Amino acid sequence: MHPTAIIDDGCTIANGTKIWHFSHIMSHCELGENCNIGQNCVIFPQVVLGKNVKVQNNVSIYTGVTCDDDVFLGPSMVFTNIVNPRSAIVRRGQYSKTNVGKGASIGANATIVCGHDIGEFAFIGAGAVVTKNVPAYSLWVGNPAKQIGWMSEFGHRLKFDKKGFASCPESKEKYKLVQGIVSKIK
């Protein structure tokens, strides 16, 4: 932990986790092993991060968000946690939940509107604004974000043949697309 970082009472921070300059981990958060919290990040109360979550600089993670293992959160991306915020109306405790699945990546300056889950190994492009649930292995870009393809677990775009099969150019792992659902062939 950098000396300028603040960690409130009641947090659980596992071995190997690093917290950089000017970041604030608020009360009752759970950070798994080997997480990396960049500088100037704020993690609000009761947020749960799995193992090996990479949080780049200037990210705010609000109450109601959970991230599974191996999630990547790009620089200055943001989550929301209230659908209809108003300054004069207190909605504390009415937070919508968002889960980011194992291995998912969210690009720089993307916004995830609360109440929408991001599936395993999904890929959200830089600057995208997500306003609906994102299926596993899917690739989303734009504002509002739209699905434009599928990604492998190694982060490569998948090209499915007419029979619905694809392979990752790096790992050579095989994938199957059936009725809009991608799964890795074991």
Instruction: Look at residue 144 in the predicted model and tell me its pLDDT.
Output: 97
Kindly report the average pLDDT of the chain as a whole number: 97
Total Cβ atoms within 10 A of residue 49: 28
On the question of pLDDT at 159 being above 90, the answer is: yes
What pTM was computed for the model? 0.95
Instruction: Look at residue 92 in the predicted model and tell me its pLDDT.
Output: 85
Residue 103 pLDDT level (bands cut at 50, 70, 90): very high
Domains for the chain: give ranges and CATH numbers.
Answer: 1-151 (2.160.10.10), 159-186 (no CATH)
Instruction: Look at residue 75 in the predicted model and tell me its pLDDT.
Output: 98
Q: Does an H or E element contain 148, and which?
A: strand 146-150
Query: Dihedral of CA 18/20/72/130: which sign?
Result: positive
Higher pLDDT, 21 or 94: 21
pLDDT in tens, 105-140: 999 999 999 999 999 999 999 999 999 999 999 999
Total Cβ atoms within 10 A of residue 12: 10
133: DSSP letter: -
- The amino acid at residue 139 is L
Residues 6+ apart with CB under 8 A from 26: 8, 11, 42, 43, 44, 45, 47
Give the bridge partners for 130, in sequence order: 112
Residues 87, 89, 95: CA angle, nearest 5 degrees: 95
For residue 22, what are its two tokens? 């000017």
pLDDT in tens, 50-76: 999 999 999 999 999 999 999 999 999
Percent of the chain scored above 90 by pLDDT? 96
